[in-house]
Amino acid sequence: MAFKHISIDDYKTLSGESEITLIDIRDAQSFTAGHIAQAIHISNENLTEFIAQADLDKPLVVCCYHGNSSQEAADYFNQQGFEDTYSLIGGYTAWIHQERK
């Protein structure tokens, strides 16, 4: 089964209803400057360790800058055995825009 797209509103609903894993694949400087609460920063340096320790049965939401790179990453994580993977539509940019409304 392939990854799915998830809107910010649906992400908020899902995270309120069940335990999920949120990962942020942006660069370390951008992540440090700001990220969604509970997000785990994933880079090439900690990718293998993250996959080895992660709960593959928990929904996994991938966040990037604009929701483009996260699609490829969500597909990758799906291929690594994560059962329920999502790409956050619009990424962190859309998140910040919505939070400032």
| pLDDT at position 101 | 73
Q: What is the pLDDT along the chain (101 residues), one digit of tens a residue?
A: 689 999 999 999 999 999 999 999 999 999 999 999 999 999 999 999 999 999 999 999 999 999 999 999 999 999 999 999 999 999 999 999 998 87
* Active site (annotated) includes residue 64: yes
**What span, in angstroms and rounded, lies between the C-alpha atoms of 58 and 43?**
20
Q: Distance between terminal CA atoms of the chain?
A: 35
Selecting among 64, 74, 88, 89, the annotated active-site residue is 64
List domains and CATH numbers for the chain: 4-99 (3.40.250.10)
| pLDDT at position 99 | 85
Q: DSSP secondary-structure letter at 89?
A: T
Q: List Cβ<8 Å contacts ≥24 apart for 29-36.
A: 30/65, 30/92, 34/92, 34/96, 35/63, 35/92, 36/63, 36/92, 36/95
pTM score of the predicted model: 0.95
